[in-house]
Amino acid sequence: MNGRRDGPLMRNSSQGSTKSKIGTAIFIGVLLGFVFAFLFPGGVFKSSSLSIRDSRSVKFITQTDSSSCDSSERIDMLKSEFISASEKNAQLEKQIRELTEKLKLAEQGKDHAEKQVLSLGKQSKAGPFGTIKGLRTNPPVIPDESVNPRLAKILEKVAINRELIVAVANSNVKAMLEVWFTSIKKAGIPNYLVVALDDEIVQFCTKNDVPVYKRDPDEKVDSIGRTGGNHAVSGTKFRILREFLQLGYGVLLSDVDIVYLQNPFNHLYRDSDVESMTDGHDNATAYGYNHVFEEPAMGWARFAHTMRIWVYNSGFFYIRPTIPAIELLDRVANRLSRERNSWDQAVFNEELFFPSHANYEGLYASRRTMDFYLFMNSKVLFKTVRKDDNLKKLKPVIVHVNYHPDKFPRMKAVVDFYVNGKQDALDPFPDGSDW
C-alpha cells in the first residue's frame, strides 16, 4: 500500500501551529474567565438551575472545605433565625386577632346604625304638639359565641330570657357571698352566676350547688383575684362583663354585699342601655334637682343654677348587650388600667354622664335610675326607712349595704328583719358608721 509520508520539516511546522492554537485558546479562555468573574461575581447560573451532578459536586466541595466549627455556627445561626421568625409570626397572629376583633365591632356598629335607620323608617313630618318622642332603646348586638364558647354553653343553661345576675368574687368575701346566694335561693331566683377569681370560691360554690364559672388563666385578672380587695375586684368586673354582652346577654351586675328579697327581673324597664340603682336617699338626690349656687362677689348675677344628681352605684346595675353599653365597659376598663388610684364608681359615672365638649366625645348611652325604695341602699334603710312605720311595711327588691363598712352583720340583720320577721333586728346599728 502506498501512503503519504511527511518529512521532518513538515511535521515540525504542523506541531508548532497546533501549539500556537492551543496557547491562544488557553489565553482567550483565561481572559473570558476574568471578564465573567468581574461581570457576574455571583455566577452565571443560579443555584436552582444546577444539575444534580453539579449540586452534589458543590456539596462535596463545601463539605470538604468547611470545618466542623463553621457548620456549628451555621446551625446556631439557623436556629436563631427560626426563633426570630417564630416570634414575629406570633406577633403577627396577635395583630390579626386584634384587627379581627375591631372588624367585628365595626360590623356590629354598622349593623346598629342600619337598624336605627330602619327603625326610623321614612322621613315624615312632625306630629301634633306633645306627641313626638325620640328613640329610647338601642338594638342589641349580634351574639358572637366565638368570643368564649365555654362561657356560651354555661349561659345557655343558666340564663332565662338571655338575662342573669352576675357576681365577681374571691375568697376575701366568702362569708358575704354565702348570705348573697342564700338570699337569692330564698327569693326563688334561678338565673344567677358567680364568676370565681380563685379556686377556693369554685370549690365553695360547687359544694353549695351554686352556678360558678372560672375564667381561663389571665395573669392581669388572676393576680387581683388572689390578693385584691373590694375595690380591686370591682375594677376587674368591667373587663369580665364585656364577654357576657358580646355573647348577647343582659347582665344584672351585683356586688356580694347585697341581700335579695324579690326577683329583680320583675321590676326592670329594659328601655335603656344602663339601668342602675342610685346612691341618692330621696327624690331630689336620686332623680336630680336644680341646685342654686351663690357667689356674692358677682353682685346681680350672684345666683347660678346647676343640675345635680347623685351618682349611680357601680355595684348594682342592669346593662343591656348594646354597642353603647360595651363602649362604656371599654372606657371604664381602659381608664382603670391607666389610672391606678381611680375609684371604679367615680370613673363609671364620669364616662356615663360627662357630655361631649371640645375634643372630648361623650358616651351616647341611654340610662335609667332605679326606684330607690325598691332597690335600696343602706343609707336609705338605716337613716330613714327603719324609723318610719309606713316605710317599714314596704318590701324592697334588694338591700345593698354600700354605705357601711360593717357589711356582714348588717346583711344578717336585713335577713332577720325582712325574711325572719325580727322587728328589732335593725335597731342596734347606728345611722352611719363608727369609723
Q: What pLDDT score was predicted for residue 23?
A: 59
Q: What pLDDT score was predicted for residue 229?
A: 47
Distance CA 338, CA 387 (A): 44
| CATH class of the domain comprising 145-282+313-418 | alpha beta
| Residue where the block lists cell 327624690 | 283
Q: Is the pTM of this model over 0.75?
A: no
Question: In this structure, which long-range contacts are made by residues 118-126, counting pairs with CB atoms below 8 Å and at least 24 apart in sequence?
Answer: none
Sign of CA dihedral 224, 225, 227, 232: positive
Q: What pLDDT score was predicted for residue 72?
A: 80
Amino acid found at 278: T
Q: What pLDDT score was predicted for residue 409?
A: 98
**What are the extents of the domains in the chain?**
145-282+313-418
Over the chain, what HEC string results? CCCCCCCHHHHHHHHHHHHHHHHHHHHHHHHHHHHHHHHCCCCCCCHHHCCHHHHHHHHHHHHHHCCHHHHHHHHHHHHHHHHHHHHHHHHHHHHHHHHHHHHHHHHHHHHHHHHHHHHHCCCCCCCCCCCCCCCCCCCCCCCCHHHCHHHHHHHHHHCECCEEEEEEECHHHHHHHHHHHHHHHHCCCCCEEEEECCHHHHHHHHHCCCCEEECCCCHHHHHHHHHCCHHHHHHHHHHHHHHHHHCCCEEEEECCCEEECCCHHHHCCCCCCEEEEECCCCHHHHHCEEEEEECHHHHHHCEEEEEECCCEEEEEEEECCCHHHHHHHHHHHHHHHHCCCCCHHHHHHHHHHCCCECCECCCCCCEEECCCCCEEEHHHHHHCHHHCCCHHHCCCCEEECCCCCCHHHHHHHHHHHHCCCCCCCCCCCCCCCCC
Q: What pLDDT score was predicted for residue 45?
A: 47
Contact 230, 248 (CB under 8 A): no
Q: What is the pLDDT along the chain (435 residues), one digit of tens a residue?
A: 444 444 444 444 444 555 556 656 566 665 566 545 555 555 544 444 444 444 444 444 444 455 556 678 888 888 888 888 888 888 888 788 778 777 766 666 556 555 555 554 567 788 899 888 877 789 999 999 999 999 999 999 999 999 999 999 999 999 999 999 999 999 999 999 999 999 999 999 999 999 999 988 765 555 554 544 444 566 789 999 999 999 999 999 999 999 999 999 999 999 999 999 999 999 999 999 999 999 999 999 999 999 999 999 999 999 999 999 999 999 999 999 888 889 999 999 999 999 999 999 999 999 999 999 999 999 999 999 999 999 999 999 999 999 999 999 999 999 999 999 999 999 999 999 887
What is the number of residues in the chain? 435
Q: What pLDDT score was predicted for residue 5?
A: 42
Contact 370, 253 (CB under 8 A): no
